[in-house]
Structure 1
Amino acid sequence: MALHPEIAKFVASLPPPAPGPIDPVALRAADEAHVTPLAERLPLHAVEDVTVRTAAGDDVPVRIYTPVAVGPYGVLVYFHGGAFFLGSLETHDHLARSLARETGLKVVSVGYRLAPEAAFPAGLEDCYAVLRWVAEQGEGLAWDGATLAVAGDSSGGTFAAAVAATAHDDGFDRITHQILYYPSLDLDFDAERYASLRENAVGYGLETAGLKPFNAFYLDSGADPADPLASPIKRTDLSGLPKALVVTAEHDPLRDEGELYGARLRDAGVAVTVSRYEGAGHGFVQHFSWIPEFHAVFAETRAFLTEPRA
């Protein structure tokens, strides 16, 4: 299927990349400039900003979204995307609100530290620390003690997969679901590794040639593409991980690594759903979920979260 006309129109409007090195500060400012004003955001029962103090003494900002007044609630811990150097609680606020409204879960969005200022694995450690904090503070969050999901889009999907693996290795078995929206699971960007890196190389928004420079801040900070914490698809044993929903986009260079990861999870005995959205490109949940056929991803997420635990 061709790229959806609304996405194609947006891609055609994008200016060519600026010459010279990528400026993370300028790109962050540009992202923040497009954030929807607070008065126009999806209303929920409550949205609260708090700070989580980790065992290492670091302070991590989080935003807690409560969909309705009466609990208890299942909890979804959300990690935003942005190639490990972009994104914030603000840029993904609308996505977190939609997840809370559509799933009925309390969403805890994590403002983890970004590269290059924070070297690997600082961001990942923040994400894992907040997950453990949620479990420890369950009563205060009105957690139902049953559903505890991790989720993320793009590089946030990398963190979600790595957090699920870290929790498993630590013997922390409270995670019930992992939700990976078009995840970046293999930071070895050799175009010969996956057909989608070649098929979707140019013209769909995220381009294969841009993967290395956009992820360079993270890789140069110490993330090794061979390390399963940086490239979760490199993990040898995927058995025992939480059930997974892996959402991919037809016109995404990262499509095939997500689908391969789903297949490897299934082969390891993990209950997994792999769902490809036709006509979509990378980032469609964040940027184009207002299109009805793509908004369906929230209904699919809700259905996945309410299935009996495998």
Structure 2
Amino acid sequence: MLEYFNTIKNNNAYIKEAIFSLFITIVSFLCIIVLAFIIFFIVKESIPILKHIGIYNFVFGKVWRPLAFGVSESYGIFYIILATIYTAMLSTLISLFIGIGFSIFLVFIANDFVRSFSLSLMDLIVAVPSVIYGFIGLVIIVKFFERVLNMSAGESVLAASILLSFMILPFIISTVTESMIVLKKSYNNVSISLGVDKWYMVLKLILPNSKNAILVGFILAVSRALGETMAVMMVIGNSLVFPRLLGKAETIASLIALEIGMAEVKSMHYSALFASGAVLMITLSIINIFVHFLKKYLLKLEL
């Protein structure tokens, strides 16, 4: 009788596992279909402008003048691409060093209460709407540049990068801290028994073995930085010129947000904005592929 009930119990567990597996498979398949339709729609809407001026002229053109009808009409986003990459990379580098240092503090210096409170605060920072960050950037960062650096206008690439670095910091801190907590449990007792200094352990064991978590945090941070719209739009100046550290610029996300509402549907301007979105997706994909191969290369070096 006991074997009979055990068989029924095992069969029920198998059925539940099969149903859950089927559910996950269906949801994953639906997500892939939705993503495929989104990509198809963006590419479809981008084709008219690419046929009109060509991919090279669109990507490497330096003048964006969609509303000047006639011979002076131009759709070049090269400076906009540079500003997008410049802002995202600078903000990620700023937050990467701060995030790694703060993760070391949380894991090896702070007590459990401070660590738990800080990680909860990171979740709260992520939940704050980006327009709030934009207002903070205008009131604090932009005004600081105007008063301290005597800039006529504080809106700049540096202001946007500093603001973005604060917004993407939680992604790096959460990822790296979780990895370091696991590594500390693995190495701490052994290091203490061997008389190894704590900071030597951090430098020689924890940081080298945290590189995968750092790369994951880097990808998450870059992805957020490349796609951020409202906060960046409010502090970067939105000027279609070559991006300089203390100069104004405009990112792809800001361009789309500012002009999609006034672009006539099915016009070249409308198509150019969709093509800009396609370029943004491709840029993000290239960065992810590069980091993926970098991760594989680092693993080969270990072997």
TM-score (norm 1): 0.24
Higher relative contact order (CA 8 A, sep 6+): 2
Higher strand share goes to which structure? 1
Give the structure with higher Rg (CA): 2
Higher helix share goes to which structure? 2
TM-score (norm 2): 0.24
